[in-house]
């Protein structure tokens, strides 16, 4: 057997794993999902899930991956063949998320060029030009393919040189730009209404759908429930501190989501844009915000969409990596062949997703391909996957073995690990089951 590739450095792993977590989920999805689910109460519930569920599941995934040094499917299969399906569902989930994610990645890429070409010159048409763009049957598909090709280029080079280098350089840039936008938004008149919308919970509007949306968002945003962090953990050296890494990545992801909210809602309230505006939010609000600024606005908007594209890339390469690692580990494909095979299938799914914005293609329950892939993954597969991962770790692997991995054979010690184990063995599975059933009974959005 080949020696398993490992991350080139400690900072490389953190940046790549944080890069996987921080992506369109934080900057594109979090704000519009919060907007559609009533704001403050959604954010509050989301934060509780991040702390109680997200952190615990991430630690579990890292431990499972590093323990066997095998990616999603192998990590289950090598322990007990009957659990292989959990890994397989994760790989399928990777395909499905990559069936819509690159469409939005392509939008972000296109917007870099749209801004340079003068998008901000006519602020009144920014909204309508976004609608015209995404419903076009051809152009967004071309951008999606360019976006996927960049993913192929990164993933086919292998773990440490490609993914790691991209994450190391570009993540800090993203953070700085977001802080700048948030500060600008907060100085606008009436912007405090946006802060209130985001942070003042109104629980009267909370129902099963809102709670499920918050749980799904927590899993999606932290890249959990489909074996992505198991796969990344499998490349991690035995000396690394799993608890510290998990804490840092969870915190970073949450900060970026909240910053994205702060970058958008104050400006929206100031401009009188509805918080329920939907998936176009970041592609409409941010350009309008920058258009207001005149001169420097163009440069800043360009930088923003570069950062958004990069954040999307460091996440989608991790999704692609889950599928690629499966083909390499389980099907003995070369890395190149695995990457090209996986991305070809993803490109086909994405064509359906992109066309669905123009009303073209098959529908299920009145929803097009894009919405179906999104709904299936973020509202069902990831949460259920996270539950299965916890059941597997808590009941099959057991406390002693997991603690050995997490404490690096007893060289580290943490008093909260008893609580963590109780959470993954009982609380997380029961919570996911209740929230999923309630949300589904209430009907999806
Ligand atoms: N966490 C990514 C984001 O927030 O955009 C999306 C994602 C990546 C989900 C990897 C799941 C995953 F395995």
The whole-model pTM stands at: 0.95
The rounded Å distance from CA 163 to ligand 1 centre is: 14
For residue 108, give both structure tokens. Answer: 């972000």
Q: Which two tokens stand for residue 99?
A: 């069936």
Cβ–ligand 1 contact at 317 (below 6 Å): no
CA–CA separation, 111 vs 283, rounded Å?
A: 8
CA distance 30 to 109: 19
Could you tell me the two tokens for 73?
Answer: 């499917």
**Cα torsion through 156, 17, 59, 247, rounded to 10:** 170
Here the tokens at position 100 are 């819509």
Whose structure tokens read 């945003």?
221
User: Residue with the nearest Cα to atom 13 of ligand 1?
Assistant: 223
Domain for residue 421, yes or no? yes
The answer to whether residues 264 and 99 touch, using CB atoms and an 8 Å cutoff, is no
Distance CA 217, CA 219 (A): 5
Beta carbons within 10 angstroms of residue 112's beta carbon: 18
The distance in angstroms from the start CA to the end CA of the chain is 47
27 lines ligand 1 (CB under 6 A): no
Residue 159: its pLDDT value, please?
58
Closest CA to 112 of 311, 269, 275: 311
User: What does the alpha-carbon distance between residue 227 and residue 389 come to, in Å, rounded to a whole number?
Assistant: 8
- Calculate helix-pair angle for 242-271, 55-68, nearest 10 degrees: 140
Ligand 1 atom closest to Cα of residue 319: 10
| Rounded CA separation 94/100 (Å) | 11
Best CA proximity match to 165, nearest among 318, 22, 16, 4: 16
Report CA(314)–ligand 1 centroid distance (Å). Answer: 9
Q: How far apart are CA 328 and CA 339, in angstroms?
A: 9
Asked whether residue 50 is assigned to any structural domain, the reply reads yes
Output the CA torsion 267→143→374→310 (10° steps). Answer: -60
By C-alpha distance, which of 114, 118, 112, 110 is closest to 143?
Answer: 110
3-state secondary structure of 367: strand
Q: Which atom of ligand 1 is nearest to the CA of 226?
A: 13
| Model-level ipTM above the cut of 0.95 | yes
DSSP three-state, residue 364: strand
What separation in Å is there between the alpha carbon of 371 and the centre of ligand 1? 16
Best mutation site among 16, 61, 92, 97 for ligand 1 pocket (most ligand atoms within 8 Å of CB): 97
Q: Is the CB of 221 under 6 A from ligand 1?
A: yes
CA of 229 to the centre of ligand 1 (A): 10
Asked if the structure places residue 3 within a domain, the reply is no
Asked, for residue 83, whether it belongs to a domain, the answer is yes
315 Cβ closer than 6 Å to some ligand 1 atom: yes
Burial of 443 (0-12, 13-18, 19+ CB in 10 A): exposed
- Residue 367's DSSP bridge partners are 364
Q: Does residue 228's CB lie within 6 angstroms of at least one atom of ligand 1?
A: yes
The verdict on residue 79 lying in a domain is yes
* CB distance 24 to ligand 1 below 6 Å: yes
d(CA 347, CA 143): 11
Q: Which domain holds residue 109?
A: 10-442
Question: In sequence order, which residues have a C-beta less than 8 Å from that of residue 216 and are 6 or more positions away?
Answer: 378, 379, 382, 383
Q: Which residues contact 96 (CB under 8 A, 6 or more apart)?
A: 349, 373, 376, 377, 381
d(CA 434, CA 237): 36
For the CA of 316, the closest atom of ligand 1 is 8
Residues 6+ apart with CB under 8 A from 382: 93, 216, 219, 220, 224, 225, 226
C-alpha 268/C-alpha 103 separation (Å) is 24
Structure tokens at 132: 């015209």
3-class DSSP assignment, residue 188: coil
Domains identified in the chain, total number: 1
The ligand 1 atom at the shortest distance from the C-alpha of residue 312 is 5
What is the atom index within ligand 1 of the atom nearest the CA of 23?
5
Could you tell me the distance, in angstroms and rounded to a whole number, from the CA of residue 28 to the centre of ligand 1?
12
Q: What per-residue confidence (pLDDT) applies to 1?
A: 47
**pLDDT for the residue numbered 444:** 59
Ligand 1 nearest atom to the CA of residue 318, by list position = 10
Q: Are 242 and 62 in contact (CB under 8 A)?
A: yes
**Cα of 7 to ligand 1 centre, how many Å?**
20
252 lines ligand 1 (CB under 6 A): no
pLDDT of residue 366: 83
* Tokens matching residue 2: 């080949």
Residue-level pLDDT, tens digit, the chain, 445 residues: 456 777 766 777 788 889 899 999 999 999 999 999 999 999 999 999 999 999 999 999 999 999 998 888 999 999 999 999 999 999 999 999 999 999 999 999 999 999 999 999 999 999 999 999 999 999 999 999 999 999 998 888 875 565 567 667 777 878 888 898 899 889 999 999 999 999 999 999 899 999 999 999 999 999 999 999 998 898 888 989 999 999 999 999 999 999 999 999 999 999 888 888 888 899 998 899 889 877 788 988 998 898 899 889 989 999 999 999 899 988 999 999 999 999 999 999 999 999 999 998 888 888 899 999 999 998 899 999 999 999 999 999 999 999 999 999 999 999 999 999 999 999 999 999 999 988 888 875 5
Is 4 part of any domain?
no
Ligand 1 binding pocket includes 26 (Cβ within 6 Å): yes
Q: CATH number, domain at 190?
A: 1.10.4160
Q: Is 214 in the pocket of ligand 1 (CB under 6 A)?
A: no
For residue 265, being part of any structural domain is answered with yes
Query: Is ligand 1 within 6 A of the CB of residue 21?
Result: yes
Distance of CA 62 to the CA centre of its chain: 17
Note whether 210 and 45 are within 8 A (CB).
Answer: yes
Closest atom of ligand 1 relative to the 382 alpha carbon: 11
């Amino acid at each position: 057997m080949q020696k398993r590739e490992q991350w080139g450095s400690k900072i490389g792993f953190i940046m790549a794993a944080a890069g996987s977590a921080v992506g369109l989920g934080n900057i594109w999805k979090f704000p519009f999902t919060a907007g559609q689910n009533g704001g403050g109460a959604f954010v509050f519930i989301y934060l509780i899930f991040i702390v109680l569920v997200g952190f615990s599941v991430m630690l579990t995934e890292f431990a499972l991956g590093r323990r066997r040094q095998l990616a999603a499917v192998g990590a289950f299969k090598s322990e007990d063949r009957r659990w292989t399906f959990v890994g397989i569902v994760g790989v399928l989930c990777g395909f499905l998320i990559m069936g819509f994610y690159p469409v939005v990645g392509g939008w972000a890429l296109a917007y870099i060029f749209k801004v340079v070409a003068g998008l901000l010159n006519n602020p009144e048409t920014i909204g309508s030009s976004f609608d015209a763009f995404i419903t076009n049957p051809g152009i967004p598909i071309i951008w999606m393919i360019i976006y996927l090709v960049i993913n192929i280029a990164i993933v086919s080079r292998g773990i440490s040189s490609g993914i790691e280098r991209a994450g190391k350089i570009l993540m800090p840039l993203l953070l700085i730009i977001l802080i700048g936008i948030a500060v600008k938004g907060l100085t606008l008149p009436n912007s405090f209404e946006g802060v209130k919308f985001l942070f003042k919970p109104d629980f009267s509007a909370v129902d099963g759908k809102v709670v499920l949306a918050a749980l799904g968002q927590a899993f999606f945003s932290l890249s959990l429930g489909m074996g992505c962090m198991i796969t990344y953990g499998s490349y991690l050296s035995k000396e690394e501190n799993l608890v510290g890494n998990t804490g840092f990545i969870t915190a970073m992801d949450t900060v970026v989501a909240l910053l994205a909210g702060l970058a958008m809602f104050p400006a929206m309230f100031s401009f009188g844009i509805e918080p329920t505006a939907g998936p176009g939010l970041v592609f409409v609000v941010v350009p309008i915000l920058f258009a207001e600024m005149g001169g420097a606005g163009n440069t800043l908007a360009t930088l923003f969409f570069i950062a958004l594209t990069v954040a999307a890339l460091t996440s989608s390469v991790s999704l692609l990596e889950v599928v690629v690692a499966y083909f390499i580990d389980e099907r003995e494909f070369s890395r190149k062949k695995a990457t090209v095979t996986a991305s070809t299938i993803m490109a086909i799914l994405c064509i359906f997703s992109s066309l669905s914005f123009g009303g073209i293609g098959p529908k299920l329950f009145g929803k097009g391909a894009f919405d179906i892939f999104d709904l299936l993954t973020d509202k069902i597969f990831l949460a259920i996957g996270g539950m299965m991962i916890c059941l597997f770790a808590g009941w099959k692997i057991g406390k002693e073995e997991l603690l050995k991995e997490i404490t690096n054979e007893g060289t580290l010690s943490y008093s909260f690990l008893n609580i963590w184990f109780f959470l993954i063995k009982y609380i997380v599975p029961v919570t996911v089951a209740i929230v999923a059933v309630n949300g589904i009974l209430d009907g999806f959005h």
